[in-house]
Structure 1
């Protein structure tokens, strides 16, 4: 199963990055940098929530219903003319659910590491969250997921396969920390390590925009 960063580095990922950038007014390179760290962190938060029976049931219901992956079928339409408020509001609800009281701390740490202001970070995450849920829903559907165990396997695969457990441990530490963002350096290093060019937060995705 392809990881979430493999997705971002694909043609679909380029469409997501370009669309999120256009919808939020953030530069494409900074949007790529932010998403390359934020997507695994959000996916890790989903996996953490799914570790409880109630959380797993709620997430399974979401990917079997509203977030079944269909949002990925017409990304061009989604981004054309700006993302609809209903999508942004949906994203805000997803973030509130998976991050809870840590949302502000997570956004502050991502702001610090990406060099973007918190308002831009928040807006990007609100647009990205429903897409991320769509990715999870599509993977769950393709893998015939019917229960929490299957969903956990899909989440683990999206978080990086063999490195998933260590990465997840780092992400959990970050989500449980005081929000100063220091652990995010380790998370970033783990996320961007596999075959990535060196040189900062967006090393893996920098090549998409001609940066070295």
Structure 2
């Protein structure tokens, strides 16, 4: 299953509805932001697993806390325990994006027209869900630390991989490849056709 299948699945629609309700957005706004945020999180993880330490760190997280079990009771988590999700998500986002997190949030805010004070919590809610989904895929495919880059690339869509290195060409050595202060357009340009 790739990312678009996840986002269009009943689970993806449930995530969008829940996020929209909690953050006071309509479902179309929430869907637009989720469709930008999830690839950004996966792209950040893909960049991190290019280093052996990053791959081992992500692999350890996926084998322990983020093994996919969150998805089994996601509706109850989204129904009332989002503070716990957000707390976990903030840690994940800081690990994945570091100092670039604010730039990612600003980029999504600018592209979506949704205020920053909603983007941060939305990303924080999504991050543990993305990790759980990745953990579940890792278990199903029996992937080790060395295969996480390929697994992430598959989630982002195999089509991105063909021709000239795919995802890593898009990400480059840093998130903000063109130095414009908005790393999001560099990450998402290839995934979303420049939307």
Cα-to-partner distance string for 1:24-52 (whole Å, 9 max, x where unaligned): 22221111101111111110110111111
How far, CA to CA, are the matches of 2:173 and 2:182 in structure 1? 11
Gaps of 5+ in 1: 194-199, 202-212
Partner-residue secondary structure (3-state), 1:119:
helix
Mapping 1:1-212, distance limit 5 Å: 2-81=1-80, 83-145=81-143, 147-164=144-161, 165-172=165-172, 175-177=175-177, 178=179, 180-181=181-182, 184=185, 187-188=188-189, 190-193=190-193, 201=195
In the alignment of these two chains, the number of paired residues is 191
Cα-to-partner distance string for 1:119-154 (whole Å, 9 max, x where unaligned): 111110000000000110010011112x22222221
Gaps of 5+ in 2: none
Contact 1:89–1:126 (CA under 8 A) maintained in structure 2: yes
| TM-score, length-scaled by structure 1 | 0.82
Q: Alignment RMSD, CA only?
A: 2.2
Q: By how many angstroms is 1:21 displaced? A: 1.7
Q: By how many angstroms is 1:118 displaced? A: 0.8
| TM-score, length-scaled by structure 2 | 0.88
More moved, 168-177 vs 121-130: 168-177
How far, CA to CA, are the matches of 1:185 and 1:176 in structure 2? 6
Cα-to-partner distance string for 1:61-91 (whole Å, 9 max, x where unaligned): 011110001111112111123x332211110
